[in-house]
């Protein structure tokens, strides 16, 4: 029998880190090898990056993934 697990939502601080470095979405996208649309979607919460891309973003900002991406549990 499956447990009744809470719904998980991934939230991110990408726009905050990008603003702190005064980067445009276009510049960040170019630097990490994705499209600006991908950055827009991640920042807006409409797209969760692959694990590889999450690591690439974390390395770009010289931090760990948990500093950028976190999980919120939603009670059902």
Read off the pLDDT of residues 18-68 as tens digits, 9 standing for 90 and up. 999 999 999 999 999 999 999 999 999 999 999 999 999 999 999 999 999
**What is the value of pTM for the model shown?**
0.85
What CATH number did the domain enclosing 57 receive?
Answer: 1.10.260.40
Evaluate whether 5 touches 30 at the Cβ level (below 8 Å). Answer: no
- d(C-alpha 43, C-alpha 66), whole Å: 15
The 8-class DSSP code of residue 66 comes to: H
> Does the residue 36 lie in any domain?
yes
Rounded Cα–Cα distance for residues 17 and 27 (Å): 13
Find the domain containing 42 and state its range: 7-74
Instruction: Specify if 1 maps to a domain.
Output: no
Residue 2 in any domain: the answer is no
Number of domains in the chain: 1
């Amino acid at each position: 029998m499956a447990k009744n697990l809470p719904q998980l939502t991934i939230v991110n601080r990408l726009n905050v880190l990008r603003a702190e470095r005064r980067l445009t979405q276009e510049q960040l996208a170019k630097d990490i090898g994705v499209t600006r649309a991908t950055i827009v979607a991640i920042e807006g919460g409409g797209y969760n990056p692959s694990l590889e891309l999450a690591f690439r973003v974390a390395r770009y900002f010289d931090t760990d993934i948990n500093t950028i991406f976190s999980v919120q549990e939603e009670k059902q």
